[in-house]
């Protein structure tokens, strides 16, 4: 064992920021790919927005994004992160504790995350460079520190063991909409034509804290998706969207 080794303070350079419909941490899916309608753009920042740096990327359908959990940083520090050696994964009902390194908890010694997203191509607009993405699980403004292509032969291992998260979470919830919310959706311009499906996919993941899911819950929840504030309430296996309002 190596002893008395100096601590290395690694500085990461932000190469881009995500423009996401998830405006806050609440309601962001716990893994990528669970909400196919979740579309976003990754704005590449100078000097990394040189188009030559992305030559050949259009041959890949999926990308790994390495990012910083910027919403989990301590309020009095830009780098320190609050973490615990034991955490309560939502997949275990929020009750059982396991080691943080056996989970994908955002509360880690280093607030670094890894997300697999679908890539739809490069966009050049008003002198800026963007990557068009979907299947995201990233909150708006997430700093990206690296991009790597997904390689099926190396990255996909269908027979791998995955502990308590071996299978895709089930979504037994039935989503319904109030008259107000249906009327609002009907009046929206064409750019929001997928908003209803987006809301359904988000709510089918049940964004509530895990401990709430086995109890009677009369609370009215709100989530900020895209340009809208959506209020909803859960009753057993049903979620009703109560209202949709512009922010």
Beta-carbon contacts of 174 under 8 Å, excluding residues fewer than 6 positions away, are: 237, 238, 239
SS3 assignment, position 132:
strand
Q: What is the pLDDT of residue 8?
A: 67
Query: Which domains, and CATH codes, for the chain?
Result: 16-155 (2.40.30.70), 170-246 (3.30.2310.20)
Q: What is the pTM of this model?
A: 0.87
| Tokens coding 120 | 């739809």
Q: What is the pLDDT of residue 211?
A: 79
- Rounded Cα distance between 169 and 165, Å, is 8
Torsion of CA 217, 84, 27, 139, to 10 degrees: 160
Instruction: Write out residues in the chain with pLDDT < 50, as ranges.
Output: 1, 74-80
Q: What is the pLDDT of residue 124?
A: 96
Q: What is the pLDDT of residue 3?
A: 61
């Amino acid at each position: 064992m190596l002893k008395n080794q100096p601590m290395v303070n690694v500085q990461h350079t932000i190469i881009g920021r995500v423009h996401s419909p998830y405006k806050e941490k609440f309601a962001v899916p716990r893994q990528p790919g669970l909400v196919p309608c979740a579309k976003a753009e990754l704005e590449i920042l100078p000097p990394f927005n040189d188009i030559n740096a992305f030559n050949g990327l259009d041959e890949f359908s999926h990308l790994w994004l390495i990012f910083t959990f910027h919403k989990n940083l301590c309020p009095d520090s830009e780098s320190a992160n609050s973490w615990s050696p034991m955490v309560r994964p939502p997949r275990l009902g929020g009750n059982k504790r396991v080691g943080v390194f056996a989970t994908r908890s955002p509360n880690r010694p280093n607030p670094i995350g890894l997300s697999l997203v679908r890539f739809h191509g490069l966009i050049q607009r008003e002198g800026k460079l963007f990557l068009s993405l979907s299947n995201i699980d990233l909150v708006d403004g997430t700093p990206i520190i690296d991009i790597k292509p997904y390689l099926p032969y190396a990255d996909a291992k269908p027979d791998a063991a995955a502990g308590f998260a071996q299978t895709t979470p089930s979504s037994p919830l039935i989503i319904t909409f109030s008259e107000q919310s249906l009327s609002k959706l009907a009046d929206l311009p064409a750019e929001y034509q997928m908003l209803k499906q987006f809301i359904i996919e988000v709510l089918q993941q049940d964004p509530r804290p895990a401990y709430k899911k086995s109890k009677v819950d009369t609370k009215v929840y709100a989530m900020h998706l895209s340009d809208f504030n959506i209020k909803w309430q859960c009753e057993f296996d049903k979620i009703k969207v109560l209202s949709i309002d512009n922010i």
